[in-house]
């Protein structure tokens, strides 16, 4: 009895750590949530400069007010079918930590929903599907109304992406043009 | 092959074989009978020969002998006639017999001998007659001699002796007296008595003709001669008396000579008689011989042959008869079975056919009933059709009027359609203007939408910034939220407006399409109206024709009515025919039964009862159906029901009435 209570309390405590504001967006019918503090900026879709010798899910780089930022297609990263770019398509610039470095990376999403406050009681741990299925990149499942929003740990989502390398390549090959140049 | 023959051929073959057998039998029998008859003819012939020989020959010869004996005994006219008759009779008999035996040479020889024998009789008779005549003459001569002799002696006595005796008496000459007395006495005793005795002997001999009589005659002649010579001795010296004695001696000699002749004649006659008798005896012997050697064996042979022929014929006939009977039985069995089998099969087929006819007649009956019902419904339909025709007639007139009105209306419609066309052109123009405005509005809305999107992004960024700011950014976060809400509302409104504008554009496009369609339709209307005008004219003409057609249809209806009634009558007839057919099927069944009984005795058949079971419901149906026809017929009165229904109220009758909801008034109305 007491053990279960202790376990519950621990869960609550861990959930309490996840409680906060989340920026929600959609990929197809599913909605995902990002911790608001990881988000730097939301921008509309703009032309992306493709970078050679990069994985499929790396769309390329953009020049955001003079700063070269690598852009990852989250659909491709998640192994989903690519979707056409619409008016609603946005790029969310997130700040990720890699090797104790903070790197700004853009991720392409179908559309941005809103900034939502999700309480600890609404958050559940990521479900376990077995040893083969890696659910480490999921922070938790946010229950809002009847829907479930997948709360992402973006650091882990992009942990294997050498975004810095991409940026370096782009810079070294001098193919990244400033917005001014583009204009 | 035999199975496939015609019945007549089969029976013909059977009878033919039987006829052939009968013919062979008959021929054999006939031949046997003919042979026997021939043998019997031969036997009869021999019997005839025998009989004729006995009756016509032997007996007649015997009779002839008898007659001859009679004649010889009393040779007068009667016996002669008898004899001659007997001869003729015998000749006739022998001729008859000889004609019978002419082909047998032995018998013919006998017959010739017999004939000769009979011929001999005639000769013997003539000789006999001659001899008799001679004998008679001799007797007459005898008598005359005796008479002469007696007369001489009497004259001598009167003239010589008596006067001499008287003289001697007168003279008393005793010597003389004794002399003359002796002369007289000797003359009386020795001469006259002996002459008379001789005469008697002669008569006896003539009568008897025997040798004793002949010897007596000769003896008395001798004693007469001795008496005469004794008398002559006394007469010496008496010349007269001596002359008389001499004369008497002459007479006696003559008498003796005649006696010799007579004796000869008697001997001749005796010879003839013995010849005749011998001949007759020989004949009898020969006849007996012929009888024994020829006739009896011939008869026996004929009988034997007849017997053997009869035995042969009997054997042949019985063998043939048994063979014929066996063959006939076999043939009869085969032919009978070969006839009876197909006939039985035919009977079965006939029975089946009769049953089928029976059931078919029931079906016909049912069909007649349904026909009657159909006629009823037809009558009702005819009435409806008639009223419909009246309506059609009035409608046709109305059609003509309406066609006229439609014509003028078509003109108006044409004008209206042309005006509508003009309006349509203007409307098209207006709609395109609306479309243009809508396009521009849509552009504006898009701009608004973009602005709302950007505002939303800004609000979100602001919210992000506010969150980063922590407690300090809380107020800012609220503002950002509000801004975002506004942006969302604006985007929503823009979306709604865009949808509306899009609808409006779509509708205007529809309007344009519809307008062009309407224009096209209006043009079609114009042309259609032209056509309509033509058609209306045609409709008017057609209405006229329709009116005529309706008249024709009316006459056709009358005809149909007639036909319907006839149908009803026919149904009645058909029903009665079905009844008749059923009865005939029954009769046919009976006939088939008779045939079956004739062919195979009794045949197990349940079909007869089956047929008999049918009529009761069938006749009831008929009566119900009849009633229907009666009702139909009653409408016109052309068909009269002959017999009233035996069942006043039956279910079928109620059905019939309900199936014909008409009465005669309805029909009168209809026909009127």
Mean pLDDT of B70-96: 81
Cβ–Cβ gap B464/A40 under 8 Å: yes
Shortest distance between the Cα of A153 and any Cα of chain B, in A, equals 17
The alpha carbon of residue B36 and the mean position of all alpha carbons in its chain are separated, in whole angstroms, by 36
The per-residue pLDDT of chain B, averaged, comes to 78
Q: Which residues of A touch B449 (CB under 8 A)?
A: 87
DSSP B241-292: HHHHHHHHHHHHHHHHHHHHHHHHHHHHHHHHHHHHHHHHHHHHHHHHHHII
Q: Which of residues 210-249 of B touch A (CB under 8 A)?
A: none
φ, ψ of residue B540 in degrees (nearest 5): -60, -50
pLDDT for the residue A23:
92
Average pLDDT over residues A96-117: 88
pLDDT of amino acid A171: 67
Contact B113, B279 (CB under 8 A): no
The pLDDT of residue A14: 60
Cα gap B572→B632, rounded to integer Å:
11
The domain spans of chain A are: 2-182
**For range B333-354, the mean pLDDT:** 82
Of B457, B477, B484, the CB nearest to A44: B457
Nearest-Cα distance to chain B for A7, in Å, is 31
> Based on C-alpha coordinates, what's the Rg of chain A?
18
Share of chain B above pLDDT 90, in %: 0
End-to-end CA distance of chain B: 73
Six-digit token string for A102: 């903070």
CA proximity to B660, closest of B624, B620, B632, B622: B632
User: What is the rounded CA–CA span in Å between residue A34 and residue A150?
Assistant: 9
Residues A21, B467: C-beta atoms closer than 8 Å: yes
Query: What's the sign of the alpha-carbon dihedral B481, B487, B492, B495?
Result: negative
Report residue A38: phi and psi, to 5°.
-80, -15
- Chain B residues closer than 8 Å to A39 by CB: 464
Per-residue pLDDT tens over the stretch B290-306: 788 877 888 888 888 88
Q: What is the chain A residue with the closest CA to B454?
A: A44
B463 contacts on A by Cβ (under 8 Å): 21, 36, 115
CB contact under 8 A, A36 and B463: yes
Question: How much is the average pLDDT of B141-159?
Answer: 82
Residue B465 has phi, psi (to 5 degrees) of -60, -40
Rg (CA), chain B: 84
- A114 vs B460: CB contact, 8 Å cut-off? yes
Question: A87 and B464 in contact by Cβ < 8 A?
Answer: no
Buried b (16+ CB within 10 A) or exposed e, A67-101: ebbbbbbbbbbeeeeeeeeeeeebbbbbebebeee
pLDDT tier for residue A150 given thresholds of 50, 70 and 90: very high
The third-level CATH classification (topology) of the domain covering A2-182 is OB fold (Dihydrolipoamide Acetyltransferase, E2P) (2.40.50)
The pLDDT, as a whole number, for residue A16 is 67
Residue of A98, A37, A91 whose CA lies nearest to A64:
A91
Mean pLDDT on B67-95: 81
Q: How confident is the model at residue B228 (pLDDT cuts 50, 70, 90)?
A: confident
What are the tokens at B592?
């088939």
Q: What pLDDT, in 10s, does the model give residues B158-180?
A: 887 888 888 888 888 888 788 88
Determine whether the interchain pair A112/B454 forms a contact, defined as Cβ–Cβ distance below 8 Å.
no
pLDDT at B318 over 60: yes
What length does chain A have? 183
Residue A141, H or E segment: strand A138-144
The answer to whether B647 touches B623, Cβ cutoff 8 Å, is: yes
The residues that bridge with A25 in the sheet, in sequence order, are A32, A112
pLDDT at A163: 66
Does residue B635 surpass a pLDDT of 70? Answer: no
Residue B46 and residue B51: Cα distance in Å, rounded? 8
Closest residue of chain A to B464, computed from CA coordinates = A36
CB B463 to CB A88 under 8 A?
no
Predicted confidence at residue A109, as pLDDT, reads: 92
* pLDDT, position A31: 92
What is the tens place of the pLDDT at every residue in B511-535? 888 888 888 888 888 888 878 878 8
A181 to chain B, minimum CA–CA distance in Å? 23
CB pairs under 8 A between A and B: 38
Is residue A113 within 8 A of residue A31, CB to CB? The reply is: yes
DSSP A49: B
How far B468 CA sits from the closest chain A CA (Å)? 6
Q: Residues A15-64: pLDDT tens digits?
A: 667 888 899 999 988 999 999 889 999 998 988 999 988 888 889 999 98
Over residues B388-394, the mean pLDDT reads 82
Residue A87's pLDDT is: 84
- Taking phi over 0 as left and psi of -120 to 50 as alpha, with beta for the rest, A174 belongs to left
Return d(Cα B91, Cα B80) in angstroms, integer.
16
pLDDT (mean) for A90-98? 90
**CB B189 within 8 Å of CB B227:** yes
At CB < 8 Å, which residues of chain A contact B? Answer: 21, 23, 36-37, 39-44, 87-88, 90, 112, 114-115
The torsion region of residue A12 among left (phi > 0), alpha (psi -120 to 50) and beta comes to: alpha
Shortest Cα–Cα distance, B411 to chain A (Å): 59
Residues B113-118 have a mean pLDDT of 79
Between CA A18 and CA A126 the distance in angstroms is: 12
The distance of A53 to chain B (nearest Cα, Å) reads 32
Which chain B residues have a beta carbon less than 8 Å from that of A23? Answer: 460, 464
Q: Answer whether residue A174 shows pLDDT above 60.
A: no
Burial B120-159 (b: 16+ CB within 10 A, else e): ebeebbeebeebbebbeebbebbeebbebbbebbeebbee
Confidence at residue A108, expressed as pLDDT on a 0 to 100 scale: 93
Q: Which residues of B touch A37 (CB under 8 A)?
A: 467-468
- Chain A touched by B326 (CB under 8 Å): no
Q: Is the pLDDT of residue A70 over 80?
A: yes
| Average pLDDT over every residue of A89-104 | 88
Please name the residue of chain A whose CA is at the shortest distance from the CA of residue B487: A114
Give the bridge partners for A123, in sequence order: A142
Which one has a higher pLDDT value, A174 or B448? B448
Res A173 pLDDT > 80: no
The residues near A77 (Cβ < 8 Å, ≥ 6 apart) are: A57, A157, A158, A161
Identify the pLDDT of residue B601: 62
Q: How far apart are CA A134 and CA A127, in angstroms?
A: 10
CA-wise closest residue to B183 among B149, B146, B148, B233: B233
Chain A residues closer than 8 Å to B461 by CB: 41-42
The C-alpha atoms of residue B183 and residue B189 are separated, in whole angstroms, by 10
Higher pLDDT: B540 or B651? It is: B540
How far apart are the CA of B457 and the nearest CA of chain A, in angstroms?
6
Task: Choose between B544 and B451: higher pLDDT.
Answer: B451
Contacts with B467 from chain A: Cβ below 8 Å: 21, 36-37, 115
Question: Which pLDDT value is given to residue A91?
Answer: 93
Long-range (24+ apart) CB contacts under 8 A made by B528-533 are B529/B410, B529/B411, B529/B413, B529/B414, B529/B417, B530/B414, B532/B406, B532/B410, B533/B407, B533/B410, B533/B411
């Amino acid at each position: 009895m007491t053990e279960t209570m202790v376990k519950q309390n621990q869960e609550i405590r861990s959930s309490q750590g996840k409680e906060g504001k989340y920026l929600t967006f959609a990929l197809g019918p599913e909605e995902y949530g990002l911790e608001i503090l990881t988000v730097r900026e939301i921008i509309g879709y703009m032309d992306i400069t493709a970078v050679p010798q990069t994985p499929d899910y790396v769309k390329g780089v953009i020049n955001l007010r003079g700063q070269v930022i690598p852009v990852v297609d989250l659909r491709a990263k998640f192994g989903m079918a690519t979707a056409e770019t619409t008016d609603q398509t946005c790029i969310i610039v997130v700040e990720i930590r890699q090797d104790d470095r903070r790197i700004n990376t853009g991720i392409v999403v179908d559309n941005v929903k809103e900034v939502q406050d999700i309480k600890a009681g609404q958050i559940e741990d990521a479900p376990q599907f077995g040893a083969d299925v890696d659910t480490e990149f999921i922070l938790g499942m946010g229950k809002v109304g009847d829907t479930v929003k997948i709360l992402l740990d973006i650091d882990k989502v992009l942990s294997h992406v050498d975004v810095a390398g991409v940026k370096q390549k782009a810079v070294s090959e001098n193919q990244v043009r400033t917005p001014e140049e583009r204009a | 092959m035999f199975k496939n023959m015609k019945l007549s051929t089969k029976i013909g073959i059977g009878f033919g074989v039987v006829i052939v057998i009968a013919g062979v039998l008959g021929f054999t029998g006939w031949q046997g009978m003919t042979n026997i008859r021939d043998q019997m003819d031969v036997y009869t012939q021999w019997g005839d020969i025998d009989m004729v020989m006995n009756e016509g020959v032997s007996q007649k010869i015997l009779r002839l002998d008898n007659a001859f004996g009679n004649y010889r005994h009393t040779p007068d006219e009667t016996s002669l006639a008898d004899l001659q008759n007997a001869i003729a009779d015998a000749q006739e008999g022998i001729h008859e017999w000889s004609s019978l035996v002419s082909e047998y040479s032995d018998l013919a020889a006998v017959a010739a001998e017999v004939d000769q024998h009979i011929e001999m009789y005639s000769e013997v008779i003539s000789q006999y007659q001659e001899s008799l005549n001679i004998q008679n003459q001799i007797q007459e001569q005898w008598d005359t001699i005796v008479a002469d002799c007696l007369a001489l002696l009497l004259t001598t006595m009167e003239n010589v002796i008596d006067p001499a005796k008287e003289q001697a008496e007168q003279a008393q000459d005793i010597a003389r007296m004794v002399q003359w007395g002796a002369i007289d006495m000797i003359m009386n005793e020795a001469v006259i008595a002996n002459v008379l005795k001789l005469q008697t002997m002669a008569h006896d001999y003539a009568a008897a003709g025997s040798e004793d009589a002949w010897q007596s005659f000769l003896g008395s002649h001798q004693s007469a001669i001795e008496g005469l010579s004794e008398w002559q001795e006394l007469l010496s010296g008496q010349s007269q008396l001596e002359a008389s004695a001499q004369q008497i001696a002459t007479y006696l000699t003559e008498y003796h000579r005649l006696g010799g002749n007579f004796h000869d004649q008697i001997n001749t006659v005796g010879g003839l008689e013995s010849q005749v008798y011998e001949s007759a005896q020989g004949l009898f012997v020969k006849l007996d011989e012929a009888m024994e050697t020829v006739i009896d064996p011939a008869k026996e042979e004929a009988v034997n042959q007849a017997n053997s022929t009869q035995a042969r014929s009997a054997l042949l006939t019985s063998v043939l008869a048994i063979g014929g009977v066996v063959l006939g039985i076999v043939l009869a069995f085969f032919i009978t079975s070969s006839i009876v089998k197909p006939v039985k099969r035919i009977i079965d087929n006939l029975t089946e056919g009769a049953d089928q006819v029976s059931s078919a007649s029931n079906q016909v009956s049912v069909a007649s009933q349904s026909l009657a019902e159909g006629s009823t419904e037809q009558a009702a339909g005819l009435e409806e059709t008639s009223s419909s025709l009246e309506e059609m007639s009035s409608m046709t007139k109305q059609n003509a009027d309406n066609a006229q009105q439609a014509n003028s209306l078509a003109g108006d419609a044409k004008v209206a359609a042309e005006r509508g066309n003009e309006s349509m052109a203007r409307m098209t123009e207006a709609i395109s203007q609306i479309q243009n405005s809508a396009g521009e509005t849509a552009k504006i809305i898009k701009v608004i939408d973009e602005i709302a999107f950007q505002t939303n992004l800004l609000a979100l960024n602001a919210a992000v910034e506010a969150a980063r700011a922590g407690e300090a950014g809380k107020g800012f976060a609220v503002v950002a939220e509000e801004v975002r809400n506004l942006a969302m509302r604006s985007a929503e409104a823009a979306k709604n407006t865009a949808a509306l504008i899009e609808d409006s554009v779509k509708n205007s496009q529809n309007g344009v399409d519809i307008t062009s369609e309407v224009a096209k339709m209006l043009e079609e209307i114009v042309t259609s109206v032209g056509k309509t005008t033509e058609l209306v004219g045609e409709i008017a003409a057609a209405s006229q024709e329709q009116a005529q057609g309706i008249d024709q249809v009316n006459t056709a209806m009358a005809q149909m009515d007639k036909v319907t009634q006839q149908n009803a009558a026919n149904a009645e007839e058909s029903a009665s025919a079905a009844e008749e057919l059923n009865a005939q099927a029954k009769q046919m069944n009976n006939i088939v039964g008779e045939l079956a009984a004739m062919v195979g005795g009794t045949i197990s058949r349940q079909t007869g009862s089956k047929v008999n079971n049918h009529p009761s419901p069938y006749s009831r149906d008929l009566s119900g159906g009849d009633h229907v026809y009666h009702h139909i017929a009653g409408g016109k009165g052309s068909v009269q029901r002959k017999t009233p229904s035996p069942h006043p109220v039956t279910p079928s009758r109620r059905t019939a009435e309900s199936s014909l909801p008409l009465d005669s008034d309805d029909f009168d109305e209809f026909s009127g």
